[in-house]
């Protein structure tokens, strides 16, 4: 599986998700949220390899560990650090960068691309902050339309993209603010079915690359002469859809809400759904009041969106181990393939 994720932090602690996308020739590390202590067990080399940090929102339990991330990466010398989050990201990061005395920074590398997503205005604003300027003179705001792309028959909002992966976002209701949900997908790949090539008696060669290309020519030149391109494509090529992982935290929806159907549709059968699991269903009043999910509804959400696997995190501190087992059972009632993130880490 090219996408792998670990929940950082334990039960009743701040949590985050460290996502690793391994294509076989390249590894990308992405961090989703950065609460207090979430990086304390991570190797410095790994923290320094995180290429992008995505914030769901800026309640303290999701950003209290940022200083640790910053300390490891403020003067990174190879690649820029990307930080993305909802409205307020730019100011909030600027203030965090200014929370230190800077007097030995003039020769320091360190480039930070900070992007603020504003779904209500349909735009993304970005500024670049430099360590050598003590992060004090960021570039002017570069404003762009949010990038809409297609995914499984719907339009999605892509907020970060490299040749190895794509991240799109959705705004979730969390009380009277928005919390960003994120999905990581790997590109679809096309593979060649070698034994079909052999059975057709055409020697392999550069024509196979041509066949995999998106050429619109009707015919293709093979060592055995011209052949019908679409016939060969359907005989020889297999499309492998990319993998998907979704990170959701701090939101509250119920099956009867209008938001429920929108989010089920956006989820679109994720291979792996990581979701908050804050309250027992018996406390749905509390869940509603604080803009969080109940375990029962998390299970239903995973089932209705046809997720393949569900990892739970962000449980309320009020529950002891026994009650956490009950929350898990509530989620598993609708979605048996559910686990707590910290249990998965022990295996
Ligand atoms: Zn929150
Ligand atoms: Zn939270």
Domain boundaries defined on the chain: 3-188+241-346, 189-239
**For residue 60, what pLDDT is reported?**
97
Residue 347 has pLDDT above 50, yes or no: no
Compute the distance from residue 150 Cα to the ligand 2 centre, in Å: 30
Residue 12 has pLDDT above 90, yes or no: no
Residue 141 has pLDDT above 90, yes or no: yes
**For residue 183, what pLDDT is reported?**
98
Q: Please report, for residues 49, 67, 183, the alpha-carbon distance to residue 162 in angstroms, rounded to integers and kept in the order given.
A: 15, 26, 14
Q: What is the mean pLDDT of residues 98-115?
A: 95
Residue 346 has pLDDT above 70, yes or no: no
Neighbours of 224 (CB within 10 A): 11
Helices 66-73, 89-97: inter-axial angle, 10-degree rounding: 60
Ligand at shortest distance from the CA of 62: 2
Q: What is the mean pLDDT of residues 45-66?
A: 98
CATH number 3.60.15.10 given to 3-188+241-346: yes
Q: Which residues contact 39 (CB under 8 A, 6 or more apart)?
A: 8, 47, 65, 68, 69, 72
Three-state SS letters, 256-321: CCHHHHHHHHHHCCCCEEEEECCECHHHHHHHHHHCCCEHHHHHHHHHHCCCCCEEEECCCCCCCH
**For residue 1, what pLDDT is reported?**
65
Alpha carbon 313 to its chain's center: 15
Residue 120 has pLDDT above 90, yes or no: no
Ligand at shortest distance from the CA of 58: 1
Cα–Cα dist 62/84, whole Å? 13
Residue 341 has pLDDT above 80, yes or no: yes
Q: Please report, for residues 5, 29, 64, 97, 108, the alpha-carbon distance to residue 111 in angstroms, rounded to integers and kept in the order given.
A: 26, 17, 22, 12, 10
**For residue 188, what pLDDT is reported?**
86
Token code pair at residue 48 = 């320094």
On the CB side of 237, CA atoms within 13 Å amount to 20
Compute the distance from residue 277 Cα to the ligand 2 centre, in Å: 10
Compute the distance from residue 221 Cα to the ligand 2 centre, in Å: 58
Residue 286 has pLDDT above 90, yes or no: yes
Compute the distance from residue 83 Cα to the ligand 1 centre, in Å: 18
**Cα–Cα nearest to 182, from 199, 161, 200, 207:** 161
> Would you place residue 344 in the very low, low, confident or very high pLDDT band (cuts 50, 70, 90)?
low
The DSSP string of 198-256 is HHHTPPPSTHHHHHHS----SEEEETTEEEEHHHHHHHHEEEEPPPEEEEE-S----TT
In contact, 204 and 156? CB cutoff 8 Å: no
Specify whether the backbone of 314 is left (phi greater than 0), alpha (psi in -120 to 50) or beta.
Answer: left
Cβ-defined contacts of 239-242 (< 8 Å, 24+): 239/188, 239/189, 239/190, 240/188, 240/189, 240/190, 240/191, 241/188, 242/185, 242/186, 242/187, 242/188, 242/189
Compute the distance from residue 66 Cα to the ligand 2 centre, in Å: 15
Q: Is 210 a catalytic residue?
A: no
In contact, 220 and 234? CB cutoff 8 Å: no
**For residue 227, what pLDDT is reported?**
92
- pTM here? 0.91
Catalytic residue among 14, 33, 61, 168: 61
**Cα–Cα nearest to 20, from 119, 43, 12:** 43
Ligand at shortest distance from the CA of 14: 2
């Amino acid at each position: 599986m090219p996408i792998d994720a670990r929940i950082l932090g334990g039960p009743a602690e701040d949590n985050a998700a460290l996502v690793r996308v391994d294509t076989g020739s390249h590894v990308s590390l992405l961090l989703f949220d950065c609460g207090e202590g979430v990086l304390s067990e991570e190797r410095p080399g790994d923290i320094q390899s995180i290429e992008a940090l995505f914030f769901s929102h800026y309640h303290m339990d999701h950003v209290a560990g940022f200083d640790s991330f910053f300390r490891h990466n403020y003067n990174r010398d190879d690649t820029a650090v990307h930080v993305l989050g909802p409205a307020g990201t730019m100011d909030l990061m600027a203030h965090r960068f200014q929370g230190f005395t800077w007097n030995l920074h003039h020769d320091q590398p360190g480039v930070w691309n900070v992007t603020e997503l504003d779904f209500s205005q349909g735009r993304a604003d970005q500024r670049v902050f430099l360590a050598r300027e003590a992060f004090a003179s960021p570039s002017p705001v570069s404003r762009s339309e949010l990038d809409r792309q297609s995914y499984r028959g719907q339009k999605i909002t892509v907020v970060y993209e490299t040749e190895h992966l794509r991240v799109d976002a959705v705004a979730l209701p969390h009380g009277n603010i928005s919390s960003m949900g994120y999905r990581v997908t790997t590109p679809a790949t096309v593979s060649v079915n070698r034994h079909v090539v052999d059975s057709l008696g055409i020697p392999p060669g550069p024509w196979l690359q041509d066949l995999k290309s998106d050429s619109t020519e009707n015919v293709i030149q093979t060592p055995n002469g011209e052949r019908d391109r679409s016939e060969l494509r359907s005989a020889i090529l297999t499309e492998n859809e990319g993998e998907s992982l979704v990170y959701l935290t701090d939101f509250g929806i119920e099956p009867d809400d209008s938001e429920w159907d929108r989010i089920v549709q956006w989820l679109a059968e994720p291979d792996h759904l990581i979701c908050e699991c804050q309250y027992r269903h018996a406390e749905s009043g509390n869940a509603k009041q604080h803009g969080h999910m109940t375990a029962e509804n998390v299970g239903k959400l995973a089932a209705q969106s046809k997720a393949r696997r569900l990892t739970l995190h962000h449980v309320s501190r009020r529950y002891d181990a026994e009650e956490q087992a009950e929350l898990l059972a509530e989620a598993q009632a609708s979605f048996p393939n559910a686990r707590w993130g910290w249990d998965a880490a022990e295996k």
